[in-house]
Chain A
């Protein structure tokens, strides 16, 4: 892409001034392409990975629901497709522009359908919405389809990013030098174009919102699952407490670049740690079930959900990612 622009149109006379201006612009574009490209790659990969987690969870959650409707297979199939889409988006620019958005949009649609069926499922349980708590706890998890939707949304977001094929775009969009971390925290900008500032800023906002939304869904699920379990362990309160904080930070980060650089990454990091610890506890919970490893399959599906804490950690990861993006200057 950048090379095409460099060549220019043949009927324009290339004076040194024109050339110089073009080179400046091209350099800026290349830089933008590279940054966004890296970012796109990694966002695609994250969409794929989180969808893999969601996919495994939905596969066995729907198994617990006996795949009693054929439509219950769709999120399992689509999560596979989204994993494939994310992976191919990581490796191929073309895939990132074609397959990834297609699969993402399809998945978003499916999530809406799923949300409808889950709401309806609770409605159709004895007592319906008149017994909201019991039926939400024991019925289909009402926000699970929407949480899955966040992965799809990330996939869609990734496909809108620009991407060059220049070398280096496969590197994680993290500042390489320790100094850069300081710059991010202090808000000092690298010398890049304002256009990139604006684009990244928008994406940062989007990411911050995505963080807040998925923290809400994930936190809500943690709340009622742990409530179902009577909060037997104090640690079960942590995701319930961290989730609203992460939500607040995510929402505040939309307005305040300062919060986006400070509170958001801090709370996100806490969420990641909490998710990792939760994963450990859930794994231990599975092992401690009657029969333990002698009934591995049953205990994984009916024990504490192994991947739910990882999905919570994924919210934190989104938050960190959002905070790493740069932000346009206020005009």
Chain B
């Protein structure tokens, strides 16, 4: 059962052992979920592997902060560097639906400027595609999830959303008050992939505030409830609790299948005509690096030495403000208002690129830790500030950190319980990043003051990951082409956040899905050629609106 009324009726197809399938997709998250559904609908024989469980949301999930621990990717990783990243609950999911299970589901698009920051600002790298190539897929994904938000969203490429905006909670009200008092534009009630009106077998939001702990209601979109049911209906198989450990390469320098450990820890092999890795920014490079073999000594698709490099995490400082009046920030979704007023480069600020300010809604455990860091609270101090929990509101600053080759994922000596080397991540901040964080943090605090807070503190942290196997036209400086096909191996594809060359200041979920839908259209247009030919067609595929899940059409409002 998915959500409070959604059920998967059709029995799932099972491919027999030893049977060769068309595609194996490693990781059924934002990218993998969309791709799996598209390929299944187009009639391909496809298996999606996920290291975590296939959730029964009613039975497995709880409306409890601590109880949600198993939604996150909790396998050990080593974090290093001067400014090390945090993982786990912070940015990666485990289980069918992946990170979309516990995202707050802010779904802004990237701005057109994000696709060419090297040309315009002289930093980072340009994307191999312009915004206009991705725009129709953004529009399609906004319908498929669907995304709720204002009818007119002014930033980037202005657009409207198919579902109406959400009501505000106390934190959103604070952001709106702060922004309008400073004369800053602010978007209320979206864009978030949370239903503001029911759709088919998904009820609308009940404003309970446990988005990040998994939406039991079924109102918040995750590929688990938006795309996976349709994939299964169309003959895709999902193998949950199966950890893929290695991709195999045959004599012709083409991949032949994957080794994996099934739910009982048994080592198995699955033969496939093509493999798509969608494990996100840490697991994707880890798998490619661990699949090193004769002919690919540095790992698969790594002739450029870019696998694992150019890892990015958005700066995600949390700014907390205490108000005289009550806020009760545990009510309403953490994601419900934002401003992208500072998104673009402003030469006056002395650094390239920008940031967004968004609402967040930490629950007591997270808030206690934020107070520990932001105020140095412990002992009676912690007890007393926690008694004021209901007086605090929190904003998240979301700043673009530029790609750097030294921010990277490598394999550590240490191995996990299955014997696979664990990932070691090194992360440092550079000059532009530090300036941007300093400015953005102060601006966010200014908004909090303007909202009427009597005390404002902040905690430094990071938000979403992207990069570590970037796309580009040049095989010497990138891992995959614009459709996610690795430059080195014609039937190996990547389809997740790891292929993004830069990150913008937008939450990456929607962009990952849009890229997946575009990659799917490409694979479907190419058909069997992918399985046999070394030819690379670089023509844009036609957009396939007929491959959307059935409830996509006939709901919501016409787009302005």
Contact = CB atoms under 8 A, between A and B. Distances in A.
**Is A–B contact present in the complex under a CB 8 A cutoff?**
yes
A121 B198 contact: yes
Given A290-B180, A291-B188, A65 B167 contact: no
Contacts of B176: 290-291, 295
B164 A291 contact: no
B207 interface: yes
Which of A66, A138, A291 has the most chain B CB atoms closer than 10 A to its own CB?
A66
Given A68-B197, A68-B556, 13 more contacts: A65-B164, A66-B162, A66-B196, A66-B204, A66-B557, A68-B195, A68-B199, A121-B198, A124-B203, A126-B203, A291-B186, A295-B180, A295-B186
Ranked 7 nearest A-B pairs via Cβ: A66-B197, A68-B197, A65-B197, A66-B163, A290-B177, A290-B176, A291-B180
B206 to A, nearest CB: 6
A70 interface: yes
Interface of B: 4-5, 146, 148, 150, 162-165, 167-168, 173-174, 176-177, 179-180, 186, 188-189, 195-199, 203-204, 206-207, 216-217, 554-557
A302 interface: yes
Interface string A273-295: 00000000000000001111011
A125 interface: yes
Contacts of B195: 66, 68
B180 A294 contact: yes
Given A291-B176, A298-B165, A68 B188 contact: no
Given A121-B198, A292-B180, A66 B206 contact: no
Contact of B198 (A63, A124, A289): A124
B259 to A, nearest CB: 42
Contacts of B196: 64-66
Which of B176, B195, B217 has the most chain A CB atoms closer than 10 A to its own CB?
B176
Contact of A290 (B146, B150, B168, B199): B168
A66 B189 CA distance: 12
Contacts of B197: 64-68, 72
Contacts of B168: 290, 302
Secondary structure of the B contact surface, majority rule: loop
A70 B198 CA distance: 12
A125 B207 CA distance: 12
Contacts of B557: 63, 66-67
Which of B5, B189, B206 has the most chain A CB atoms closer than 10 A to its own CB?
B206
Nearest to B183: A294
Nearest to B555: A68
Nearest to A73: B557
Contacts of B148: 66
B296 to A, nearest CB: 49
Contacts of A70: 554-555
A125 B203 CA distance: 6
B5 A124 contact: yes
B6 to A, nearest CB: 11
A298 B556 contact: no
Contact of A126 (B146, B163, B188, B217): B217
A66 B203 contact: no
Given A65-B197, A67-B557, A302 B4 contact: no
A69 B203 CA distance: 12
B162 A290 contact: no
Nearest to B174: A290
B164 A64 contact: yes
A69 B555 contact: yes
A142 to B, nearest CB: 15
Nearest to A138: B206
Interface string A55-89: 00000000111111110100000000000000000
Contacts of A64: 164, 167, 196-197
A294 B178 CA distance: 12
Contacts of B150: 298
A66 B556 contact: yes
B167 A126 contact: no
Interface string A106-139: 0000000000000001001110000000000010
Contacts of A67: 164, 197, 555-557
Given A65-B197, A138-B206, A126 B165 contact: no
A218 B404 CA distance: 62
A124 B5 CA distance: 8
Contacts of A294: 180
A294 B164 CA distance: 19
A65 B179 CA distance: 26
5 contacts: A64-B197, A65-B198, A67-B197, A291-B177, A295-B176
Nearest to A70: B554
A125 B206 CA distance: 8
B455 to A, nearest CB: 20
B193 to A, nearest CB: 13
Nearest to A66: B197
Contact of A65 (B5, B204, B554): B204
Contacts of B163: 66, 68
Nearest to B219: A126
A312 to B, nearest CB: 22
Contacts of A124: 5, 198, 203
A321 B306 CA distance: 80
Nearest to B218: A126
A298 B198 contact: no
A101 B168 CA distance: 41
A160 to B, nearest CB: 37
A176 B297 CA distance: 101
Contacts of B173: 289-290
Contacts of B146: 66
Contact of B189 (A69, A138, A290, A298): A298
Contacts of A301: 164-165
Nearest to A128: B4
Contacts of B189: 298, 302
Contacts of A302: 165, 167-168, 188-189
A132 B465 CA distance: 42
A132 to B, nearest CB: 14
A134 B521 CA distance: 44
A1 B153 CA distance: 59
Contact of B164 (A66, A125, A138, A290): A66
A220 B207 CA distance: 23
A291 B175 CA distance: 9
B453 to A, nearest CB: 14
A296 B426 CA distance: 47
